[in-house]
C-alpha cells in the first residue's frame, strides 16, 4: 500500500525567511511524485511532477527535489502570497490514482 507523510503539518514563516517542507513516501514502483498548492475554498493547483531520484524542478520561489524516500519543497524568500496548503502525492506504476499526504499549511507573515 502506497503511503505519503508530510511534515510539518503547519509552518509559520516571516516574509523572506526561507524553509523546506518534507514529503516522505513508500510506493510500489514510483511513477511520479506530485506537488500541489491549495488555497482555501479551492481545488489543488499543480506545481511540479518529479519522476526519478536526483531530479529537481523550480518555479519562482519554489524548488522541488526528490530522493528515493522523500521529496522536499524548498521555499526561498517567501512572500505572504505564498501562504497556502502544499500537498504531496505519489502515483505508482499502475498509474491509476494519486495517493496524497495530509498537507503542510504554510503561513507567511509580512
List residues near other proteins by CB under 8 A. Answer: 31-32, 34, 36, 41-46, 49, 87, 89, 91, 95-103
Strand, helix or coil at 81?
Answer: helix
Query: Shortest gap between Cβ of 50 and other proteins (angstroms)?
Result: 11
Q: Are 35 and 44 in contact (CB under 8 A)?
A: no
Strand, helix or coil at 18?
Answer: coil
Q: Which is nearer to other proteins, 65 or 85 (CB)?
A: 85
Q: Are 99 and 4 in contact (CB under 8 A)?
A: yes
Placement of cell 499543480 in the chain = 46
Strand, helix or coil at 73?
Answer: strand
Query: Shortest gap between Cβ of 35 and other proteins (angstroms)?
Result: 12
Q: Which is nearer to other proteins, 16 or 102 (CB)?
A: 102
Query: Shortest gap between Cβ of 67 and other proteins (angstroms)?
Result: 20
Q: Which is nearer to other proteins, 17 or 39 (CB)?
A: 39
Placement of cell 518529479 in the chain = 50
Q: Are 78 and 16 in contact (CB under 8 A)?
A: yes
Query: Shortest gap between Cβ of 3 and other proteins (angstroms)?
Result: 11
Q: Which is nearer to other proteins, 19 or 99 (CB)?
A: 99
Amino acid at each position: 500500500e502506497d503511503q505519503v507523510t508530510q511534515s510539518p503539518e503547519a509552518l509559520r514563516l516571516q516574509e523572506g525567511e526561507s524553509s523546506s517542507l518534507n514529503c516522505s513516501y513508500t510506493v510500489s514502483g514510483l511513477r511520479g511524485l506530485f506537488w500541489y498548492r491549495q488555497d482555501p475554498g479551492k481545488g489543488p493547483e499543480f506545481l511540479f511532477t518529479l519522476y526519478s531520484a536526483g531530479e529537481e524542478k523550480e518555479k519562482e520561489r519554489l524548488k522541488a527535489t526528490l530522493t528515493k524516500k522523500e521529496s522536499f519543497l524548498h521555499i526561498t524568500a517567501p512572500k505572504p502570497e505564498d501562504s497556502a496548503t502544499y500537498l504531496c502525492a505519489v502515483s505508482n506504476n499502475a498509474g491509476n490514482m494519486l495517493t496524497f499526504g495530509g498537507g503542510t499549511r504554510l503561513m507567511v507573515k509580512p
